[in-house]
Amino acid sequence: MNRTRTAAVALGAAALLAAGGAAPAAAGDGQGEVHLLLNGGFGNRPGELIDIDVQGRLPHGPVTVSSPVFPRPVRLSPYERRTPDPGRGHHGRPAIAMTVEPGTYPLTVEAGGRVVARDRVEVGRPQRPRFTAGSPGEVLRPGERLWMAYDDLYPGESGTSFSVRSPAFRAPVRLAHDPRGADWHNPRLFSGAARLPATVRDGTYTVALTGPGGRVIEEKRLVVRAARPGDRDYLGRARGPAFFGTSAGAGPDAARTDGHEVTAGGQVNVLWRDQAPDPGEEERLTATSPAFERPVTLRRDDSKAGDGAAPRYYGPARVRRGLEAGRYPVTVVSHHGRVSRTAHLVITEAARGSAAAGSAPLLLAAGTGVAAAAGLGVVAFRRRAGRG
């Protein structure tokens, strides 16, 4: 399902006539060639969409697609608004009729009253409406995200508003269809997600799908259990906090848990490592200290330099100006309060008359947790290819 098939045909009149109207072979030089691309051309259910692209130099006139799977011929739209090269292609996303029986059906493309391409469409059987909430037998941790979907692509189904309720959720979750998402071909696939509260208690919860008027359509059972001793993710083997400088040559590999010095008004990076953080914890890890101007948010280092057995998280902290010299505690609390670690940072008095270190603003690279711009005293790493 949702795979692309391509057919290439030539527009030569002689070839069309010799083939008796069937799709001829492509011209050797590619001149006048027409490409028909069907995305979702086979393995479809009644009601699913087929993405149709017809590319190439076409005869003047409307471009239409005909097949027994469509209630009527479908007129494709030209590319004018989709590419900088208008007139080179046409596109449409028609739906297979809900009444079509399983089988293989012909599909014909006409341009200016002439057949320019042929293909086939395979249709399978309809499926009864299906509600999913996680995977069968899955046990979720507090703070974890639960994905839910309702697929009611079936004759007679017509609701447009669905929601999911559960005592384990903070609020009802609306399921919506995204026509630009990966499931564009199914116009009646509604999906959504809920993050379980970090404070949700262990237990089995009802997850109810409701339709118009609050009518309960289907219920599932959701098992929630925090990690226990012996579980792979229990307490996560956390290490830290540790500290490293903000100069261009500093980095997490040189971080120290004790004895790191920074001047009052200066900057320092706080590092934390955890083999298996609790679900959702990556979005709420912070380091606090009476020496800091404010709590420090620790972000995942998803650069290539961060590869390793224990994921690392860090963020830049600004030390308060005018702070007395001494050792100050820095604390990170994780795993729902079950892990609390404290290390000490050595604050030295700033040189009299010198500009306070770190007067430039601190920046974070969006979504990476890696400080941006080493020129501002924050370490930067090249992001690993393929990571968003």
| pLDDT at residue 64 tops 70 | yes
In tens, the pLDDT along 335-346 reads 888 899 999 999
Share of the chain above pLDDT 90, in %: 58
Per-residue pLDDT, 192: 96
Q: Give per-residue burial for 32-48: e unless 16+ CB within 10 Å, then b.
A: bbbebbbbbbbebbbbb
Q: What is the mean pLDDT of residues 94-120?
A: 94
Per-residue pLDDT, 4: 55
Angstrom distance (rounded) from CA 18 to CA 8:
17
Angstrom distance (rounded) from CA 241 to CA 144:
24
Joined tokens for residue 309: 């057995």
Angstrom distance (rounded) from CA 257 to CA 268:
13
Joined tokens for residue 337: 């309060």
Per-residue pLDDT, 42: 61
Share of the chain above pLDDT 70, in %: 77
pLDDT confidence band for 288 (50 / 70 / 90): very high
Handedness of CA 9, 15, 16, 22 (dihedral sign): negative
On whether the pTM is more than 0.85, the answer is: no
Nearest to 378 by CA among 245, 258, 263, 243: 245
3-state secondary structure at position 80: helix
| pLDDT at residue 383 tops 80 | no
Q: What is the mean pLDDT of residues 117-121?
A: 94
Q: What is the mean pLDDT of residues 252-275?
A: 92
| Average pLDDT value for the chain | 81
| pLDDT at residue 296 tops 90 | yes
- Which residue has better confidence, 151 or 6? 151
Task: Write the DSSP string, 9-66.
Answer: EE--HHHHHHTTTS--PPPTT-TTEEEEEEET-SSB-TT-B-EEEEEE---SS-EEEE
| pLDDT at residue 367 tops 90 | no
Sheet of strand 51-56, all strands in order from the earlier edge strand to the far edge: 4-10, 33-39, 51-56, 89-92, 77-78
Per-residue pLDDT, 3: 52
Q: What is the mean pLDDT of residues 72-83?
A: 80
In tens, the pLDDT along 5-63 reads 555 443 433 333 333 333 333 333 334 588 999 986 567 999 999 999 999 888 888 99
| pLDDT at residue 93 tops 80 | yes
Angstrom distance (rounded) from CA 206 to CA 142:
16
Contact 124, 102 (CB under 8 A): yes
Joined tokens for residue 311: 């994921």
What are the residues facing 74 on neighbouring strands? 65
In tens, the pLDDT along 168-213 reads 999 999 999 999 999 999 999 999 999 999 889 999 999 999 998 8
Per-residue pLDDT, 250: 83
CB atoms within 10 A of CB 304: 12
Per-residue pLDDT, 292: 97
> Greatest CA span in the chain, whole angstroms?
94
Phi, psi at residue 78, to the nearest 5°? Answer: -70, 165
End-to-end CA distance of the chain: 26
In tens, the pLDDT along 309-323 reads 678 999 999 999 999
Per-residue pLDDT, 308: 64
- Which residue has better confidence, 387 or 329? 329
